[in-house]
Amino acid sequence: MNCRIELTARSDRPYWVKWLDFKRCLVEEDFACRESTIIQHCYLWAWFSKHDGERFFNPPAFCLEGGWARLINGRHRTALLVKYLDVLPMALTRIDRESEAVLHGIVLREIGLDEVIALPDLPIEHTVASGTGRDQN
3-class secondary structure per residue, 59-74: CCEEEEECCEEEEEEC
Res 34 pLDDT > 70: no
Residues β-bridged to residue 48: 57
Q: What is the pLDDT of residue 133?
A: 41
C-alpha R_g of the chain: 14
Res 137 pLDDT > 70: no
pLDDT one-digit tens code per residue, 61-115: 999 999 999 999 999 999 999 999 999 999 999 999 999 999 999 999 999 999 9
- The CA distance from 47 to 15, in Å, is 17
- The CA distance from 26 to 75, in Å, is 12
- The CA distance from 43 to 77, in Å, is 8
